[in-house]
């Protein structure tokens, strides 16, 4: 049985300062950054397309491969990485776009469930982060 994969991230876009300054403000080391007009490629090697990022991007992401409930992983991410930096994130998000991104790949079964309690929803509201959830059911049955 292949373990489910979960990617949980705080993602910020459209900020005008440097990624280093943003990192200092928030107090988290990003796992990925991109600068406005930086090139990136999509497609296969024989059909590659070059594109440019439209804005500055900053992301801190945690990846897990296991069968634990994704809602528990989200709650852990919020408590470890977001709540301690609530004021800093709110300040940054007041001048750019920010989201909590949850990507859930399911390899066994096909009935995912997510639950967010009042505390988690209030925390997102207090920080100004939007919520983006992608669920991919990739089970063979």
59: enclosing H helix or E strand: strand 57-65
Q: Tell me the CA distances in angstroms from 34 to 18, 41, 42, 57, 77, one per residue in order.
A: 10, 13, 15, 5, 23
Angle between helices 19-26 and 86-93 (to 10 degrees): 140
pLDDT tens per residue across span 120-130: 999 999 999 99
Task: Give the model confidence (pLDDT) of 27-75 as tens digits.
Answer: 999 999 999 999 999 999 899 999 999 999 999 999 999 878 889 999 9
Handedness of CA 21, 24, 25, 28 (dihedral sign): positive
pLDDT tens, residue by residue, 66-118: 878 889 999 999 999 999 999 999 999 999 999 999 999 988 776 677 899 99
Domain residue ranges of the chain, discontinuous segments joined by +: 5-137
């Amino acid at each position: 049985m292949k373990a489910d994969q979960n990617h949980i991230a705080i993602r910020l876009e459209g900020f005008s300062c440097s990624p280093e300054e943003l990192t200092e403000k928030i107090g988290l080391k990003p796992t990925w950054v991109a600068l406005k007009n930086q090139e990136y490629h999509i497609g296969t090697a024989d059909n590659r397309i070059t594109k440019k990022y439209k804005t500055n991007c900053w992301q801190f992401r945690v990846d897990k491969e296991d069968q634990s409930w994704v809602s528990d992983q989200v709650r852990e991410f919020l408590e470890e990485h977001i709540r301690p930096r609530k004021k800093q994130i709110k300040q940054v998000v007041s001048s750019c776009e920010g989201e909590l991104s949850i990507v859930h790949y399911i390899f066994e079964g096909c009935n995912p469930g997510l639950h967010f309690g009042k505390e988690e929803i209030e925390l997102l509201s207090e920080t100004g982060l939007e919520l983006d959830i992608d669920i991919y059911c990739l089970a063979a049955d």
